[in-house]
Amino acid sequence: MTLIRAGTVVVGGEVCRPGWVDIDGPSIRDCGAGTPPAEADVDLPDSVVVPGFVDMHVHGGGGASFSDAPVAAARFHRRRGSTTTLASLVTAAPAELLSAVELLADATRQGTVAGTHLEGPWLSAARCGAHDPTQLRPPEPAEIDGLLAAADGTIRMVTLAPELPGSDDAIRRFVDANVVVAVGHTDATYEQIQHALALGATVGTHLFNAMPPMDHREPGPVLALLRHPGVTVELIADGVHVRPEMVDAVLGWAGPDRVAVITDATAAAGCGDGEYRLGAVPVVVAGGVATVRGTSTIAGSLATMDQLFRAVASSAGLTAAVQVTATTPARTLGLDRVGAIRAGKDADLVVLQKDLQVSAVMVGGAWLDPR
Protein backbone atom coordinates (compact mmCIF):
# COMPACT_ATOMS: atom_id res chain seq x y z
CA MET A 1 0.00 0.00 0.00
CA THR A 2 1.12 3.55 -0.74
CA LEU A 3 -0.26 6.73 0.78
CA ILE A 4 0.49 9.83 -1.29
CA ARG A 5 0.14 13.38 -0.04
CA ALA A 6 0.49 16.31 -2.46
CA GLY A 7 0.15 20.06 -2.43
CA THR A 8 -2.68 19.76 -4.97
CA VAL A 9 -4.77 16.73 -5.92
CA VAL A 10 -7.76 16.82 -8.27
CA VAL A 11 -10.14 14.38 -6.57
CA GLY A 12 -13.32 13.55 -8.45
CA GLY A 13 -13.40 16.92 -10.17
CA GLU A 14 -12.55 18.92 -7.04
CA VAL A 15 -9.22 20.70 -6.59
CA CYS A 16 -7.92 19.79 -3.13
CA ARG A 17 -5.07 21.79 -1.58
CA PRO A 18 -3.56 19.73 -0.05
CA GLY A 19 -4.92 16.33 -0.95
CA TRP A 20 -4.09 12.66 -0.61
CA VAL A 21 -4.51 9.34 -2.40
CA ASP A 22 -4.33 5.92 -0.71
CA ILE A 23 -3.21 3.20 -3.12
CA ASP A 24 -3.88 -0.48 -2.44
CA GLY A 25 -2.29 -2.70 -5.07
CA PRO A 26 -3.51 -1.62 -8.55
CA SER A 27 -6.45 0.43 -7.23
CA ILE A 28 -7.28 3.58 -5.30
CA ARG A 29 -8.55 2.57 -1.86
CA ASP A 30 -9.45 6.09 -0.72
CA CYS A 31 -8.69 9.75 -1.44
CA GLY A 32 -9.62 13.16 -0.14
CA ALA A 33 -8.76 16.71 0.81
CA GLY A 34 -6.65 17.97 3.69
CA THR A 35 -4.47 15.87 5.98
CA PRO A 36 -4.19 12.17 5.09
CA PRO A 37 -5.45 9.58 7.62
CA ALA A 38 -1.90 8.35 8.34
CA GLU A 39 1.68 9.34 7.70
CA ALA A 40 2.31 9.64 3.99
CA ASP A 41 4.68 7.24 2.28
CA VAL A 42 5.22 9.75 -0.53
CA ASP A 43 5.08 13.48 0.22
CA LEU A 44 4.84 15.85 -2.75
CA PRO A 45 4.19 19.29 -1.24
CA ASP A 46 5.03 21.20 -4.42
CA SER A 47 3.31 18.87 -6.90
CA VAL A 48 -0.06 18.52 -8.59
CA VAL A 49 -1.55 15.01 -8.85
CA VAL A 50 -4.17 14.34 -11.52
CA PRO A 51 -5.70 11.21 -13.03
CA GLY A 52 -3.83 9.54 -15.87
CA PHE A 53 -4.70 11.01 -19.25
CA VAL A 54 -7.03 9.08 -21.56
CA ASP A 55 -6.21 9.63 -25.23
CA MET A 56 -9.09 8.29 -27.30
CA HIS A 57 -7.53 9.11 -30.69
CA VAL A 58 -3.82 8.48 -31.24
CA HIS A 59 -1.91 6.73 -34.04
CA GLY A 60 1.60 6.52 -32.59
CA GLY A 61 4.58 8.34 -31.17
CA GLY A 62 8.30 8.14 -30.54
CA GLY A 63 8.88 6.74 -34.03
CA ALA A 64 6.38 3.88 -33.57
CA SER A 65 2.87 3.36 -34.94
CA PHE A 66 0.15 1.46 -33.13
CA SER A 67 -0.52 -0.42 -36.37
CA ASP A 68 2.77 -2.33 -36.15
CA ALA A 69 4.54 -1.48 -32.86
CA PRO A 70 1.87 -0.90 -30.19
CA VAL A 71 4.14 -1.55 -27.20
CA ALA A 72 6.68 1.09 -28.23
CA ALA A 73 3.98 3.64 -29.12
CA ALA A 74 2.13 3.10 -25.84
CA ARG A 75 5.38 3.37 -23.84
CA PHE A 76 6.18 6.73 -25.45
CA HIS A 77 2.80 8.20 -24.50
CA ARG A 78 2.67 6.66 -21.02
CA ARG A 79 5.85 8.47 -20.06
CA ARG A 80 4.03 11.67 -20.94
CA GLY A 81 1.01 10.84 -18.80
CA SER A 82 -1.29 8.95 -21.18
CA THR A 83 -1.94 5.91 -19.01
CA THR A 84 -4.85 4.86 -21.27
CA THR A 85 -4.70 4.98 -25.07
CA LEU A 86 -7.16 3.94 -27.75
CA ALA A 87 -5.03 2.84 -30.69
CA SER A 88 -6.20 4.49 -33.91
CA LEU A 89 -5.79 2.88 -37.33
CA VAL A 90 -5.89 4.81 -40.59
CA THR A 91 -7.42 3.75 -43.90
CA ALA A 92 -5.77 0.67 -45.38
CA ALA A 93 -6.42 -2.17 -47.79
CA PRO A 94 -8.77 -4.85 -46.38
CA ALA A 95 -6.11 -7.47 -45.62
CA GLU A 96 -3.74 -4.92 -44.06
CA LEU A 97 -6.51 -3.46 -41.91
CA LEU A 98 -7.57 -6.91 -40.73
CA SER A 99 -3.99 -7.78 -39.78
CA ALA A 100 -3.62 -4.56 -37.75
CA VAL A 101 -6.93 -5.22 -35.97
CA GLU A 102 -5.72 -8.69 -34.99
CA LEU A 103 -2.41 -7.27 -33.70
CA LEU A 104 -4.23 -4.67 -31.60
CA ALA A 105 -6.68 -7.26 -30.29
CA ASP A 106 -3.67 -9.03 -28.76
CA ALA A 107 -2.30 -5.70 -27.47
CA THR A 108 -5.65 -4.96 -25.86
CA ARG A 109 -5.81 -8.34 -24.14
CA GLN A 110 -2.28 -7.74 -22.82
CA GLY A 111 -3.27 -4.34 -21.41
CA THR A 112 -1.00 -2.35 -23.72
CA VAL A 113 -3.92 -0.35 -25.13
CA ALA A 114 -7.58 0.05 -24.21
CA GLY A 115 -8.84 -1.08 -27.61
CA THR A 116 -8.91 -0.10 -31.26
CA HIS A 117 -10.31 2.93 -33.05
CA LEU A 118 -10.97 2.43 -36.75
CA GLU A 119 -10.54 5.83 -38.40
CA GLY A 120 -11.48 4.71 -41.88
CA PRO A 121 -11.67 3.33 -44.50
CA TRP A 122 -15.29 4.52 -44.66
CA LEU A 123 -14.53 8.20 -45.12
CA SER A 124 -15.39 10.97 -47.58
CA ALA A 125 -13.00 11.33 -50.50
CA ALA A 126 -13.60 15.09 -50.36
CA ARG A 127 -12.54 15.26 -46.69
CA CYS A 128 -10.07 12.39 -46.39
CA GLY A 129 -7.19 14.55 -45.16
CA ALA A 130 -4.06 12.42 -44.77
CA HIS A 131 -5.84 9.11 -45.44
CA ASP A 132 -4.95 7.10 -48.53
CA PRO A 133 -7.62 8.10 -51.10
CA THR A 134 -7.05 4.94 -53.14
CA GLN A 135 -8.29 2.75 -50.28
CA LEU A 136 -11.43 4.67 -49.33
CA ARG A 137 -14.59 2.61 -49.72
CA PRO A 138 -18.22 2.53 -48.58
CA PRO A 139 -19.00 0.32 -45.59
CA GLU A 140 -20.10 -3.18 -46.48
CA PRO A 141 -21.58 -5.73 -44.07
CA ALA A 142 -19.09 -8.48 -44.93
CA GLU A 143 -16.03 -6.34 -44.15
CA ILE A 144 -17.57 -4.96 -40.96
CA ASP A 145 -18.52 -8.41 -39.71
CA GLY A 146 -15.05 -9.75 -40.53
CA LEU A 147 -13.33 -6.96 -38.62
CA LEU A 148 -15.64 -7.35 -35.62
CA ALA A 149 -14.99 -11.08 -35.55
CA ALA A 150 -11.21 -10.63 -35.77
CA ALA A 151 -11.27 -8.00 -33.03
CA ASP A 152 -13.31 -10.18 -30.67
CA GLY A 153 -14.72 -7.22 -28.75
CA THR A 154 -11.61 -5.01 -28.83
CA ILE A 155 -12.87 -2.39 -31.32
CA ARG A 156 -14.16 0.40 -29.10
CA MET A 157 -14.76 3.18 -31.63
CA VAL A 158 -15.13 3.69 -35.37
CA THR A 159 -15.11 6.91 -37.38
CA LEU A 160 -17.15 7.03 -40.58
CA ALA A 161 -18.72 9.52 -42.98
CA PRO A 162 -22.49 9.09 -42.57
CA GLU A 163 -23.32 10.30 -46.08
CA LEU A 164 -21.74 7.24 -47.69
CA PRO A 165 -24.02 4.52 -49.07
CA GLY A 166 -24.43 1.75 -46.52
CA SER A 167 -23.59 3.96 -43.55
CA ASP A 168 -27.01 3.60 -41.90
CA ASP A 169 -26.62 -0.16 -41.72
CA ALA A 170 -22.99 0.23 -40.62
CA ILE A 171 -23.94 2.50 -37.72
CA ARG A 172 -26.59 0.01 -36.58
CA ARG A 173 -24.14 -2.90 -36.80
CA PHE A 174 -21.51 -1.14 -34.76
CA VAL A 175 -23.97 0.12 -32.14
CA ASP A 176 -25.35 -3.42 -31.78
CA ALA A 177 -21.75 -4.60 -31.23
CA ASN A 178 -21.27 -1.99 -28.43
CA VAL A 179 -18.85 0.03 -30.55
CA VAL A 180 -18.88 3.82 -30.15
CA VAL A 181 -19.71 5.42 -33.50
CA ALA A 182 -18.06 8.73 -34.40
CA VAL A 183 -18.77 10.86 -37.43
CA GLY A 184 -15.80 12.50 -39.12
CA HIS A 185 -13.83 12.97 -42.32
CA THR A 186 -17.22 13.84 -43.69
CA ASP A 187 -18.83 16.17 -46.20
CA ALA A 188 -22.27 15.59 -44.68
CA THR A 189 -24.98 18.20 -44.29
CA TYR A 190 -26.45 19.29 -40.98
CA GLU A 191 -29.43 17.00 -41.62
CA GLN A 192 -27.28 13.98 -42.47
CA ILE A 193 -25.35 14.37 -39.23
CA GLN A 194 -28.62 14.66 -37.31
CA HIS A 195 -29.76 11.42 -38.93
CA ALA A 196 -26.54 9.63 -37.92
CA LEU A 197 -26.93 10.84 -34.34
CA ALA A 198 -30.50 9.55 -34.28
CA LEU A 199 -29.17 6.14 -35.36
CA GLY A 200 -26.75 6.06 -32.44
CA ALA A 201 -23.57 7.99 -33.31
CA THR A 202 -22.27 9.78 -30.21
CA VAL A 203 -18.87 11.34 -31.09
CA GLY A 204 -17.61 14.02 -33.45
CA THR A 205 -14.11 13.14 -34.65
CA HIS A 206 -11.65 16.08 -34.32
CA LEU A 207 -14.28 18.83 -34.55
CA PHE A 208 -13.66 21.38 -37.35
CA ASN A 209 -10.96 19.27 -39.00
CA ALA A 210 -11.86 17.21 -42.09
CA MET A 211 -15.42 18.53 -42.26
CA PRO A 212 -17.14 21.54 -43.88
CA PRO A 213 -16.81 24.82 -41.99
CA MET A 214 -19.89 26.18 -40.26
CA ASP A 215 -21.85 28.60 -42.42
CA HIS A 216 -24.89 30.68 -41.49
CA ARG A 217 -26.98 29.03 -44.24
CA GLU A 218 -25.27 25.63 -44.32
CA PRO A 219 -24.30 24.93 -40.69
CA GLY A 220 -23.02 21.45 -41.53
CA PRO A 221 -21.56 18.92 -39.08
CA VAL A 222 -20.10 21.39 -36.58
CA LEU A 223 -23.38 22.89 -35.42
CA ALA A 224 -25.22 19.55 -35.54
CA LEU A 225 -22.60 18.00 -33.25
CA LEU A 226 -22.41 20.92 -30.85
CA ARG A 227 -26.17 21.22 -30.48
CA HIS A 228 -26.76 17.58 -29.56
CA PRO A 229 -26.48 17.17 -25.76
CA GLY A 230 -25.48 13.51 -26.01
CA VAL A 231 -22.48 14.05 -28.28
CA THR A 232 -18.83 14.23 -27.23
CA VAL A 233 -16.69 16.33 -29.57
CA GLU A 234 -12.98 15.69 -29.97
CA LEU A 235 -10.61 18.65 -30.18
CA ILE A 236 -6.94 18.61 -31.21
CA ALA A 237 -5.93 21.48 -28.94
CA ASP A 238 -2.36 21.76 -30.23
CA GLY A 239 -2.64 25.29 -31.64
CA VAL A 240 -2.12 23.90 -35.16
CA HIS A 241 -5.39 22.11 -35.88
CA VAL A 242 -7.60 24.47 -33.88
CA ARG A 243 -6.84 27.96 -32.60
CA PRO A 244 -6.82 28.29 -28.79
CA GLU A 245 -9.63 30.83 -28.98
CA MET A 246 -11.81 28.27 -30.74
CA VAL A 247 -11.02 25.65 -28.10
CA ASP A 248 -12.14 28.12 -25.43
CA ALA A 249 -15.32 28.87 -27.39
CA VAL A 250 -16.24 25.19 -27.68
CA LEU A 251 -15.53 24.62 -23.98
CA GLY A 252 -17.81 27.55 -23.19
CA TRP A 253 -20.58 26.28 -25.44
CA ALA A 254 -20.55 22.52 -24.95
CA GLY A 255 -18.86 22.40 -21.54
CA PRO A 256 -15.89 20.24 -20.50
CA ASP A 257 -18.17 17.24 -19.90
CA ARG A 258 -18.80 17.07 -23.66
CA VAL A 259 -15.26 17.78 -24.92
CA ALA A 260 -12.48 15.20 -25.25
CA VAL A 261 -9.08 16.66 -26.02
CA ILE A 262 -7.09 14.26 -28.20
CA THR A 263 -3.57 14.22 -29.60
CA ASP A 264 -4.24 12.51 -32.97
CA ALA A 265 -0.48 11.98 -32.68
CA THR A 266 1.43 9.96 -35.25
CA ALA A 267 4.72 8.08 -35.08
CA ALA A 268 6.47 11.40 -35.75
CA ALA A 269 5.51 12.78 -32.31
CA GLY A 270 8.66 13.35 -30.29
CA CYS A 271 10.99 12.77 -33.24
CA GLY A 272 11.68 16.19 -34.75
CA ASP A 273 11.72 17.32 -38.37
CA GLY A 274 12.04 14.72 -41.10
CA GLU A 275 10.11 12.32 -43.33
CA TYR A 276 7.67 9.76 -41.94
CA ARG A 277 4.63 7.74 -42.99
CA LEU A 278 1.04 7.65 -41.80
CA GLY A 279 -0.13 4.31 -43.08
CA ALA A 280 0.71 4.39 -46.79
CA VAL A 281 0.86 8.19 -46.95
CA PRO A 282 4.26 9.99 -46.92
CA VAL A 283 4.46 12.74 -44.29
CA VAL A 284 6.91 15.60 -43.84
CA VAL A 285 7.48 17.26 -40.46
CA ALA A 286 8.90 20.78 -40.57
CA GLY A 287 8.72 23.53 -37.98
CA GLY A 288 6.53 21.52 -35.64
CA VAL A 289 3.82 20.73 -38.21
CA ALA A 290 3.23 17.44 -40.06
CA THR A 291 1.83 17.59 -43.59
CA VAL A 292 1.25 15.17 -46.45
CA ARG A 293 4.38 15.36 -48.62
CA GLY A 294 4.02 17.95 -51.38
CA THR A 295 0.81 19.46 -49.94
CA SER A 296 -0.39 21.72 -47.14
CA THR A 297 -2.73 19.03 -45.75
CA ILE A 298 -2.11 18.48 -42.04
CA ALA A 299 -1.21 14.86 -41.31
CA GLY A 300 -2.03 14.18 -37.67
CA SER A 301 -0.27 15.92 -34.82
CA LEU A 302 3.02 15.88 -32.94
CA ALA A 303 1.34 16.54 -29.60
CA THR A 304 1.31 14.64 -26.33
CA MET A 305 -1.46 14.81 -23.75
CA ASP A 306 0.64 16.60 -21.15
CA GLN A 307 1.18 19.43 -23.63
CA LEU A 308 -2.56 19.65 -24.30
CA PHE A 309 -3.35 19.47 -20.57
CA ARG A 310 -1.16 22.52 -19.98
CA ALA A 311 -2.81 24.39 -22.84
CA VAL A 312 -6.32 23.83 -21.46
CA ALA A 313 -5.32 24.43 -17.84
CA SER A 314 -3.77 27.79 -18.73
CA SER A 315 -7.08 29.14 -20.01
CA ALA A 316 -9.82 27.04 -18.39
CA GLY A 317 -8.24 25.84 -15.14
CA LEU A 318 -7.22 22.53 -13.61
CA THR A 319 -10.72 21.08 -13.23
CA ALA A 320 -11.59 21.60 -16.88
CA ALA A 321 -8.21 20.26 -17.99
CA VAL A 322 -8.73 17.05 -16.01
CA GLN A 323 -12.25 16.69 -17.38
CA VAL A 324 -11.29 16.97 -21.06
CA THR A 325 -8.08 14.90 -20.88
CA ALA A 326 -9.32 12.11 -18.63
CA THR A 327 -12.90 12.05 -17.33
CA THR A 328 -14.84 12.84 -20.50
CA PRO A 329 -12.92 10.52 -22.84
CA ALA A 330 -13.12 7.67 -20.30
CA ARG A 331 -16.87 8.09 -19.93
CA THR A 332 -17.36 8.39 -23.69
CA LEU A 333 -15.60 5.08 -24.27
CA GLY A 334 -17.27 3.31 -21.36
CA LEU A 335 -13.98 2.89 -19.45
CA ASP A 336 -15.37 3.04 -15.94
CA ARG A 337 -12.16 2.23 -14.04
CA VAL A 338 -10.11 5.18 -15.31
CA GLY A 339 -10.49 8.91 -15.87
CA ALA A 340 -10.73 10.20 -12.29
CA ILE A 341 -9.16 9.94 -8.85
CA ARG A 342 -11.86 8.15 -6.87
CA ALA A 343 -12.04 5.15 -4.55
CA GLY A 344 -12.30 1.95 -6.57
CA LYS A 345 -10.71 3.38 -9.72
CA ASP A 346 -7.42 2.13 -11.13
CA ALA A 347 -4.40 3.80 -9.56
CA ASP A 348 -3.38 5.65 -12.73
CA LEU A 349 -1.86 8.98 -11.72
CA VAL A 350 0.23 11.77 -13.20
CA VAL A 351 2.44 13.86 -10.93
CA LEU A 352 3.05 17.36 -12.27
CA GLN A 353 5.46 20.06 -11.21
CA LYS A 354 4.21 23.57 -10.49
CA ASP A 355 4.61 24.43 -14.16
CA LEU A 356 2.54 21.30 -14.99
CA GLN A 357 5.46 19.43 -16.53
CA VAL A 358 5.29 15.68 -15.88
CA SER A 359 7.60 14.49 -13.11
CA ALA A 360 6.23 10.96 -12.49
CA VAL A 361 3.57 8.57 -13.78
CA MET A 362 1.83 5.72 -12.00
CA VAL A 363 0.00 2.94 -13.88
CA GLY A 364 -2.00 0.37 -11.95
CA GLY A 365 -0.34 1.32 -8.68
CA ALA A 366 3.23 1.03 -10.01
CA TRP A 367 5.54 3.94 -10.79
CA LEU A 368 6.85 3.93 -14.35
CA ASP A 369 10.56 3.69 -14.92
CA PRO A 370 11.45 7.22 -16.14
CA ARG A 371 14.04 5.89 -18.62
- What secondary structure does DSSP assign to 79-141, as a single string? TTTEEEEEEEE----HHHHHHHHHHHHHHHHTTSSS-EEEE-SS--GGG-TTS-GGG-----H
Is 14 a known ligand-binding residue?
A: no
Is 63 a known ligand-binding residue?
A: no
Residue 87 amino acid letter: A
Is 334 a known ligand-binding residue?
A: no
Map residue 233 onto helix, strand or coil: strand
Is 210 a known ligand-binding residue?
A: yes
Sequence-separated (6 or more) residues with CB below 8 Å from residue 197: 183, 224, 225, 228, 230, 231
**Is the Cα torsion angle 200, 101, 240, 261 positive or negative in sign?**
positive
In 3D space, the residue among 95, 94, 115 whose CA is nearest the CA of residue 105 turns out to be 115
Active site residue 264: yes
* Contact yes or no for 91/136 (Cβ under 8 A): yes
Query: CA separation (Å) from 152 to 59, 148, 176?
Result: 21, 6, 14
Is 77 a known ligand-binding residue?
A: no
Is 195 a known ligand-binding residue?
A: no
Is 299 a known ligand-binding residue?
A: yes
167-176 and 190-199 helices, crossing angle to 10°: 30
Query: CA separation (Å) from 31 to 19, 242, 267?
Result: 8, 36, 36
Our measurement of the distance from residue 246's CA atom to the centroid of its chain's CA atoms, rounded to an integer in Å, reads 19
Q: What angle do CA 327, 50, 37 make, to 5 degrees?
A: 115
Is 300 a known ligand-binding residue?
A: yes
Is 140 a known ligand-binding residue?
A: no
Is 209 a known ligand-binding residue?
A: yes
220-227 and 190-199 helices, crossing angle to 10°: 40
Sequence-separated (6 or more) residues with CB below 8 Å from residue 239: 311
**Is the Cα torsion angle 325, 326, 331, 334 positive or negative in sign?**
positive
* Catalytic position from the list 22, 187, 238, 264: 264
In 3D space, the residue among 115, 103, 52, 58 whose CA is nearest the CA of residue 79 turns out to be 52
Is 298 a known ligand-binding residue?
A: yes
* Contact yes or no for 51/10 (Cβ under 8 A): yes
Query: By CB neighbour count within 10 A (0-12 exposed, 13-18 middle, 19+ buried), where does 301 fall?
Result: buried
Query: Binding site membership for substrate: which residues?
Result: 130, 209-210, 217, 241, 298-300
Query: Binding site membership for Zn(2+): which residues?
Result: 119, 185, 206
Active-site amino acid positions: 264
